[in-house]
Structure 1
Amino acid sequence: MSYDAVLWLSFGGPEGPDEVMPFLENVTRGRGVPPERLAEVAEHYQHFGGVSPINRLNREAIGAVEKELAAQGLELPVYFGNRNWRPMVEDTVARMAADGVRRALVFPTSAYGGYSACRQYDEDIERARAAVGENAPELVKLRQFFDHPLFVSSFADAVRAAHSGLEGARTVFTAHSVPVSADAAAGPPSEGGYRYSRQIAEAARLVALEAGVPEYDVVWQSRSGPPRIPWLEPDIVDHIDVLHERGERAVVVCPVGFVSDHLEVIWDLDNEAAERAAELGMGFARAATPNSDPRFAELVVELVREHVSGAPARKLSEFPAAGCTVNGAVCAPGCCEPARRPAR
């Protein structure tokens, strides 16, 4: 099957102080997040001049992917669209249609399953196509890649580099927390490989194995829901307290749940977690995320080649391959369903 383009589909982020609150309102629409919580999160963005690094990092990664596509003889332009902020995916898909694109592959900037990490990108695709109408291109979403050898090796090298300056540090892998109910909805028990927390744990195991780290912890960060709703725990800052009580003198934190330095990485880890470790007199280092690594562009192009030339799907785990969709049709029944909200 032939394809005309690649759509790089991401979360989005503000690029100026006046965009912060409208962006956060887009992110939290319909979720009942109180205004005071929005104001608190807005301060995190204002700490960095109201600019999230995510759009810049996406544009840099797109540039690297375009070069890799060209180097491999694939003439596929790469379009950029976001779920929550400009460039909005609806506008991007409209431009693709105007440019004559009829069939495109979609790369979502998340390696994992789960509602927000996977299924919601299906909804973004469906919404964008509906907005464009009958001239909308066919959109095929690429699969999840948390267990891809290039993803794992990039993180493993980053973990080794972080350890090089800290003797005897404890390795801690982090990922964005989600409500426990949302994690449970990521697939029936017989298909537990779709579950977000299990995929995070498997990615951490694979990275630790390749990095030569015999012992490690998996914790969570960036929870944003009301206290009455259980989220995946423990939190990274609380866990640093526990490590200190256990007598650990240093910690290496690897944000294995992220492909780039989102604001959650630079705020929750480089600021809050690092500051807590310093308060306790602990050494601290944070492993780099992969999208600035040349292997990340190679990974994306390899996922593209699975569709355009039948390249084999390289995986390091026995978890089911998932996440690939055509125009919002999910890859497997029951995968990454949205959690039911409790009755009020």
Structure 2
Amino acid sequence: MSDSRIPIDHTPYDALLLLSFGGPEAPEDVVPFLENVTRGRGIPKERLAEVGKHYFLFGGVSPINEQNRELLAALRKDFAGNGLDLPVYWGNRNWAPYLVDTLREIATDGHRRVLVLATSAYAGYSGCRQYRENLADALATLAEEGLPELRVDKLRHFYNHPGFVRPMIDATLAALDELPADARDRAHLAFTTHSIPDAMAESSGAPDDPARGRPGGAYVAQHLEVARLVAEAVAEATGVAGRPWELVFQSRSGAPHIPWLEPDICDHLESLHAAGAPAAVMVPIGFVSDHMEVKYDLDTEARAKAAELGLPVARAATVGADPRFTAAVRELVLERAATERGVPVERCALGALGASHDVCAVACCPNPRAPRPAAAQL
């Protein structure tokens, strides 16, 4: 991918922040990490230890921090190799390196205009607004400490950028090749993402009708668009038209009485088996890297369910630090910088939904508990 269509000029920005969820890196980190994730919800430590059992299966270590280190290194290499002299920092929402500490480092290093890449490609409260709330909290802390003011702007949602979609297409094709030869052409595609409460999904995105002032449906719509793009590209590459596919969900964590997006991936595998499907490929389009919710919910639980059913399955890799994705991030940085300078540029996006907005509206993806300040909004 080339960004020759956009000037190699990052001004007015002087730093990029890779902002992620974070994860434990030792068994003793698991409960404190989960306390950070669930703060304010009154969940006892005993319950958190039970919730954290899948981390203990992996030695108490989530893969996400190491994967972020790899992405950080890949971004720095890509930027340097393409003449983009922009420092890249990394901070987390729930574990070290903490966001507030990283922003403090950025301010101390003399930077003032910061672009933010959140490791979530889609609209939604948890994937976008909550990160912007965390940014607002951290900036307020720095102001209390008397540090110079930072302005932060978040890069647009990149779910339909070719640098995100095309690696998933190749990963799906590679996963199909792992299946028994006589099942590949009839294998189903199960596109997976994190389940969220129905009400949160319905309120996700920018307001679709200013008169109503209510957003709606972006989380599911954006995932369906990516699933369609991947499915159509796979059909073209394999010559298999009409291959069945469905958007399914995983990693539900809420109270049983609250409706969440369905079907769950394990329930979906049962349905496929009952309907006589010969095989399935799980394609985790909702995740940037192979972190715990991929390693446990798909590679452990879902594979165990498939083995119990006798249903052959394969799992497509996530995008991770694929060079096409790091090039896409570079494009997004240069695109946003040019826009801030008033220079018109082409905004890359595949499919029918077009490029996402740069700045979130106040009504975007509302906090389901109570309104809170959020950074990088109109």
Band the TM-score falls in, shorter-chain normalisation: over 0.9
Task: Within 5 Å, give how 1:215-234 maps onto structure 2.
Answer: 215-234=244-263
- Distance verdict in 2 for CA 1:145–1:194, change over 3 Å: farther
Letter in 2 for 1:211: V
**Aligned-partner Cα distance in 2 for 1:85–1:21:** 11
State the 1:293 CA deviation. Answer: 1.6
Which amino acid in structure 1 is aligned with residue 159 of structure 2?
F
- What are the superposed Cα offsets for residues 27-59 of structure 1, whole Å, 9 maximum, x if unpaired? 011235465552232110011010000010001
Find out whether 1:41 has 2:51 as its counterpart.
yes
Report 1:291-310 matches (<5 A): 291-310=320-339
Q: Which amino acid aligns with 2:347?
A: A
Number of residue pairs the alignment of both structures matches = 336
CA distances 1:284-310 after superposition (whole Å, capped 9, x unpaired): 100000013211111111111112345
- The residue aligned with 2:189 is 171
Task: Give the SS at the match of 2:140.
Answer: helix
- Structure 1 segment 168-317 matched on structure 2, within 5 A: 168-187=186-205, 188-190=207-209, 195-212=218-235, 214=242, 215-310=244-339, 311-317=345-351
Once the two structures are TM-superposed, the CA of residue 149 in structure 1 deviates from its matched residue by 1.1
Match of 1:68 in 2: 78
Query: What pairs with 1:84-99 in structure 2 (closer than 5 Å)?
Result: 84-99=94-109
The separation in 1 between residues aligned to 2:52 and 2:189, in whole angstroms, is: 30
* Paired residues for 1:39-188 under 5 Å: 39-133=49-143, 134-166=147-179, 167=184, 168-187=186-205, 188=207
In 2, the alpha carbon distance for the partners of 1:136 and 1:185 equals: 32
Deviates more, 1:144-153 or 1:302-311: 302-311
Aligned partners of 1:182, 1:193: CA distance in 2, in Å?
9
Q: Measure the CA separation in 2 of the matches of 1:268 and 1:61.
A: 22
Q: TM-score, normalised by structure 2?
A: 0.85
Instruction: Report deviation, 1:340.
Output: 4.5
Q: Deviations over 1:257-294 (max 9, x none)?
A: 00101100000000000011011111110000001321
RMSD between superposed Cα atoms in Å = 1.8
8 Å CA contact 2:202, 2:217 repeated in 1: no
After the TM superposition, list the runs of 4 or more consecutive aligned residues in structure 1 that deviate by more than 4 angstroms: 32-37, 191-194
2:33 equivalent to 1:23: yes
Gap runs ≥5 in structure 2: 1-10, 236-240, 340-344, 371-378
CA distance in 2 between partners of 1:241 and 1:185 (Å): 30
- CA displacement, residues 94-152 of structure 1 (integer Å, 9 cap, x when unaligned): 01111111111110000000000011111121111111115132111100011111111
**Distance in structure 2 (CA, Å) of the matches to 1:151 and 1:171:** 18
Answer yes or no: is the 8 Å Cα contact 1:175–1:258 preserved in 2.
yes
Cα distance between partner residues in 2 of 1:240 and 1:224: 20
Counterparts of 1:156 and 1:192, CA distance in 2: 30
1:242 & 1:72 partners in 2: Cα distance?
A: 48
- The answer to whether the Cα contact below 8 Å between 1:9 and 1:83 also exists between their aligned partners in 2 is yes
Deviation of the 1:201 alpha carbon:
1.0
TM-score by structure 1 length?
A: 0.93
Separation of aligned partners in 2, 1:49 and 1:222: 20
Contact kept in structure 2, 1:5 and 1:105, CA below 8 Å: yes
Cα gap change, 1:35 to 1:184, in 2 (>3 Å): farther
Cα deviation, residue 333, structure 1: 4.2
Q: What percentage of residue pairs aligned between the two structures are identical?
A: 52
- 1:55-114 deviations in Å (ceiling 9; x for gaps): 100010111111111112111111110000100000000011111111111100000000
Rounded Cα–Cα distance in structure 1 between residues aligned with 2:16 and 2:265: 35
Contact 2:348 2:355 survives alignment (8 Å): no
Alignment correspondent of 2:358: 324
Question: What is the DSSP-based 3-state SS (H/G/I as helix, E as strand, rest coil) of the residue aligned with 2:33?
Answer: helix
Q: Distance in 2 between the 1:21 and 1:150 partners?
A: 36
Is contact 1:194–1:335 with CA below 8 Å preserved after alignment?
Answer: no
Query: Can you give the 5+ residue segments of structure 1 that lack an aligned partner in the other structure?
Result: 326-330
SS at match of 1:302: helix
